[in-house]
Amino acid sequence: MDSKIMDVLQDRVLELGPAPQPSSSPNFKLTRDEDGIAWLLFDREGASTNTLSGAMIEEFGQILTALESERPSGLVLRSAKSSGFIAGADVTEFRGVSDARAVESQLHRGHQIIDRLEALRIPTVAVIHGFCLGGGLEVALACNMRIAVDNARFGFPEVLLGLHPGLGGTARFTHLVNPVEAMTMMLTGKTIDARRAKSLGLVDAVTQERHVRAAVKDAVFGRLRRAKPGAMVSLLNLAPARKLLASRMRREARKTAPQEHYPAPYALIDLWERHGGDRRAMLAAEKASFADLMVTPTAQNLIRVFFLRDEMKKLAGGKNTMRHVHVIGAGAMGGDIAAWCANQGLRVTLADMKPEPIAGAIKRAADLYSKIIRKKILVRDALDRLMPDLTGEGVRNADLIIEAVPEKLELKQKVYAGLEPVMKPDCILATNTSSIPLQDLRTTLKNPERLVGIHFFNPVSRLQLVEVVSHDMADPQVLAAAMRFVGGIDRLPLPVKSSPGFLVNRALTPYMLEAMVMMDEKIDKTTIDAAAEKFGMPMGPIELADQVGLDICLAVGDMLRSKFGDALPPAPDWLREKVNKGELGRKTGRGFYHWKDGKVQKMPPAVQPTPEMIDRLILPMSNVCVACLREGIVDNADVVDGAMIFGTGYAPFRGGPLNYARTRGPENVSNALATLASKYGDRFKPDAGWMTFR
């Protein structure tokens, strides 16, 4: 229980006689103060965060029964957890659900209890600190008033699980604030802070913790000026406005979430368009809509991804002890790695041969911080932690050195030769190589046991995965420290054994090279990209190659082909010509596409892709993932799926390349690969791992 919150509560709370039986619940604490106000604390047993399970909602219903008969002067809902109010529903209860009507029945019971909260004939106040998300926000919306502590954040993240709010939030939210703002929050899953919530009318007051007591008294005794829905709320909930706005919302949704892959945004829009004018009807319709979404493959796969993220977080294994990171190479990757580490509170020195790359990296860092850090003083602090280091003095005091120079074996080994005599004895040497086996990199090192791979993905600030690469001479303690470091900078560590391309690049390279082969066959690049996007990839392989850099794609492709031979198609000569001409993609403004202000300029495809095109691009990824499992590069199929989703953006609603193979059927996938191999060559030959994959 958060000590500050409890100190304040202990100052104000006075027990009056024997508490009703529900107050002894392990998940709730019910007390009264000297003003006769009941304070109900959510405090889920054995958890650091409050989440709403079915059992917890039932307990809440029992407490409401007692309060209905006791009639205190007011009711205050609070959380005893330092993390926040309520972080949403207990998602573990969503897994494997297949009966929509059973879900609807359970929701009906939840609605009854939340409706009783709303119907209490006493003032009800939600006092919110920290995160108030999903079902937690729906509980708060059923109160008469909401008071936010200044660190509160609000949101409806259900869309990220393939769902929309299901405990009355769709109706209560769109009838409390501007429905366009409400729908935007629910359609995107984005969170807002307390000040923004106040400006929208979501909360009635924003205060500091020490002033909560006074704010609650004002609320309960009628002195708080409550936020009330304006005329615009009623106007925009009228049928003509809903029809017009719903059409616009669908157009926006289609840009990022095709309906055939992500039905939840469209179900939410339909719900509001049909029933938004009648709050009661919308509350009723919400239950069936939510239940139907819950049993879709999209929702079940996205729920699986939610747990994959948690599983991978736990791989870090403990608290990071690194304090000073020295990054060598201020290019696109090195500079962004340094910026991210500084953003996470670490002292970072950034070295390069020339000052210009360092200056560019600092500018990119400032741009990044301005977008992801809300307070200017915190932006300044992050920039202060990111220090240019032309002379490389940071090496002497660094706990971790990350080498991020170009993918050339001799260059990397030359850098190591200069580092090793100067490094602290307990300093870890990490390489950000995307493809070179560590067995090759370590050959010139005096202490190869402290070399480890820490491989980030581009863009560093958005892709959560980091491969932690071992080799047979690595010190286990070094590997463990590297895993903790990755977890400590809010990234997901993936332990992999050193092998050409490791996991992600080995799986991604055939996807991108096959696209080049298809271009050689005179298939238009926009059609190739459309094939991948139709499957559900966030962007096609041609656009992705431009994003990564054609020079990097070529180098990785050549290296992997030298190791795997005909298992990969050769890079075409015209790709080498583009690289030689400096047409490297996004970073030079021109590659396969033209780029303007960092955005691709492309036309819709003139010819629609065929199912075979999709298989040619997608199935080799599953094939490589099965091979990596068989070879022991990675030892967990679920983690392989997580790695491909968090490292490449592999269609999350598919649940990962191995989950997709299970859904489609391993034998079906193996047979499809064999058919492609007979037509296009041995690069499609099914891996032996399909014989045992289940």
Among 3.40.50.720, 1.10.10.10, 3.30.40.10, 3.40.50.1860, name the CATH number for the domain at 316-498. Answer: 3.40.50.720
pLDDT of residue 14: 31
Burial of 61 (0-12, 13-18, 19+ CB in 10 A): middle
533 is catalytic: no
pLDDT of residue 620: 96
Residue among 138, 467, 514, 533 flagged as catalytic = 138
**Domain ranges across the chain:** 3-295, 316-498, 505-691
Question: Over 80: is that where the pLDDT of 1 sits?
Answer: no
Q: Note the CATH architecture for domain 505-691.
A: Orthogonal Bundle (1.10)
Helix/strand/coil percentages in the chain, nearest 5: 55, 15, 30
The alpha carbon of 112 is separated from its chain's Cα centroid by a whole number of angstroms, namely: 33
* Dist CA 67 CA 74 (whole Å): 10
Query: Letter for the amino acid at 209?
Result: E
- Beta strands, E only, 498-635: 594-596, 599-601
pLDDT of residue 338: 98
Region 524-537 average pLDDT: 96
A 10 A CB-CB count for 51 gives 20
15 is catalytic: no
* Dist CA 254 CA 262 (whole Å): 10
Give the percent of the chain with pLDDT over 70.
Answer: 97
Question: Over 70: is that where the pLDDT of 9 sits?
Answer: no
Residues sharing a CB contact under 8 Å with residue 321, sequence separation 6 or more, in sequence order: 399, 481, 484
pLDDT of residue 7: 46
CB 350 within 8 A of CB 332: no
- Stated as kind and residue range, the H or E segment containing 192 is strand 191-193
The alpha carbon of 106 is separated from its chain's Cα centroid by a whole number of angstroms, namely: 28
Domain 3-295 bears CATH identifier 3.90.226.10: yes
Region 225-250 average pLDDT: 94
**Strand, coil or helix: what is 439?**
helix
Digit-coded pLDDT (tens) for 145-158: 999 999 999 999 99
Region 375-380 average pLDDT: 93
User: What are the tokens at 528?
Assistant: 């190739």
* Dist CA 651 CA 538 (whole Å): 7
Average pLDDT, the chain: 92
Region 396-400 average pLDDT: 96
Read off the pTM: 0.90
Region 171-177 average pLDDT: 97
User: What are the tokens at 372?
Assistant: 């992801």
CB 72 within 8 A of CB 122: yes
Closest CA to 545 of 522, 581, 515: 515
Q: How confident is the model at residue 15 (pLDDT cuts 50, 70, 90)?
A: very low
Digit-coded pLDDT (tens) for 305-356: 999 999 999 999 999 999 999 999 999 899 999 999 999 999 999 999 999 9
- Beta strands, E only, 405-546: 428-431, 451-456, 465-470, 492-497
pLDDT of residue 13: 37
pLDDT of residue 282: 96
Residue among 45, 158, 286, 410 flagged as catalytic = 158
Region 502-524 average pLDDT: 93
Could you write out the DSSP letters of every residue in 95-153?
A: TT---HHHHHHHHHHHHHHHHHHHH-SS-EEEEE-BEEETHHHHHHHTSSEEEEETT-E
Region 170-176 average pLDDT: 97
More confident residue, 594 or 458: 594
pLDDT of residue 24: 54
Distances (CA, A) of 281 to 268, 276, 425, 539: 14, 8, 69, 39
